[in-house]
């Protein structure tokens, strides 16, 4: 487990802070080499908050769901921990269903999703996580399990924070408001589940 902690610490030292969100504030818990944790402030996106249209909010939701599916489809089959594999299989099913539900709503409402700097940033962040998980120095075995769950926790908590701070306050269409709220509740459950698995994977093994 020391190797797993070291690998995740090295990953997160490169900028992929793991955000855990009891209330989904923008604080981060960084797992450092040696397994220690450091609470940091959430100044990832300094500057004024972007103003989003309903079409741009819809695209952010699409990208968030697509990113979770990509992470889970790549990492799940490679995981050695049963709970980690099951969690990622669950993410494929539930986020695929959420995107399908969202797409049907957008079609019914006549909304064409539009990219924004935020949706493009989320796409970039997921690709960075995938690169870390499959690069030449990517962790293996138990270290990979921990790195994957840290990536999932990061991505979900990021989505939850964006939902609370940007999407929820700015969405105007009632049907889309309901969808934002439904996906926010689902993401919170996923955050809690991922945190429980990550905590167990971080726990020292008995000698």
For 28-81, the pLDDT digits (tens) are: 333 333 343 332 333 344 457 789 999 999 999 999 999 999 999 999 999 999
Segment 104-125, tens digit of pLDDT = 999 999 999 999 999 999 999 9
Q: What is the pLDDT of residue 205?
A: 61
Instruction: Confirm whether 65 is domain-assigned.
Output: yes
> For residue 33, is it within any domain?
no
Q: Above pLDDT 70, what percent of the chain?
A: 75
Q: With respect to residue 133, please indicate whether it lies within any of the assigned structural domains.
A: yes
pLDDT at position 12: 38
The string of pLDDT tens digits covering residues 120-168 is 999 999 999 999 898 888 899 999 999 999 999 999 999 999 999 999 9
- Among 154, 142, 155, which Cα is nearest to 200's? 142
- Confirm whether 58 is domain-assigned: yes
Domain that holds residue 190: 53-202
Does a structural domain hold residue 14? no
Chain-centroid distance of CA 87 in Å reads 13
Work out the average pLDDT over 171-189: 97
CB atoms within 10 A of CB 48: 6
Residue 22 belongs to some domain of the structure: no
pLDDT score at 48 = 73
Q: Residue 64: which CATH number?
A: 1.20.1260.10
pLDDT of residue 206 exceeding 90? no
In a domain, 2, yes or no: no
> Is the Cβ–Cβ distance between 4 and 32 less than 8 Å?
no
How far is residue 14's CA from residue 8's CA, in Å, rounded to a whole number?
Answer: 10
Burial pattern 109-135, b for ≥16 Cβ within 10 A else e, equals: eebebeebebbebbbebbeebbebbee
Give the number of domains in the chain: 1
Helix (H) or strand (E) holding 53: none
């Amino acid at each position: 487990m020391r190797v797993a902690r070291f690998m995740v610490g090295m990953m997160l030292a490169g900028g992929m802070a793991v955000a855990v969100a009891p209330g989904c504030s923008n604080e981060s818990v960084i797992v450092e080499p040696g397994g220690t944790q450091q609470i940091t402030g959430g100044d990832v996106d300094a500057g004024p908050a972007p103003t989003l249209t309903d079409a741009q909010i819809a695209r952010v939701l699409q990208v968030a769901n697509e990113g979770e599916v990509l992470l889970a489809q790549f990492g799940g089959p490679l995981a050695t921990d049963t709970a980690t594999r099951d969690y990622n299989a669950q993410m494929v099913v539930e986020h695929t269903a959420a995107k399908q539900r969202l797409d049907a709503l957008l079609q019914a409402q006549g909304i064409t999703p539009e990219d924004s700097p935020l949706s493009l940033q989320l796409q970039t962040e997921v690709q960075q996580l995938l690169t870390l998980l499959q690069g030449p120095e990517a962790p293996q075995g138990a270290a990979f399990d921990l790195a994957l769950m840290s990536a999932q926790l990061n991505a979900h908590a990021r989505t939850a924070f964006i939902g609370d701070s940007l999407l929820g306050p700015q969405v105007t269409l009632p049907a889309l408001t309901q969808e934002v709220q439904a996906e926010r509740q689902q993401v919170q459950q996923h955050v809690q589940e991922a945190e429980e698995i990550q905590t167990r994977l971080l726990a020292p093994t008995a000698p």
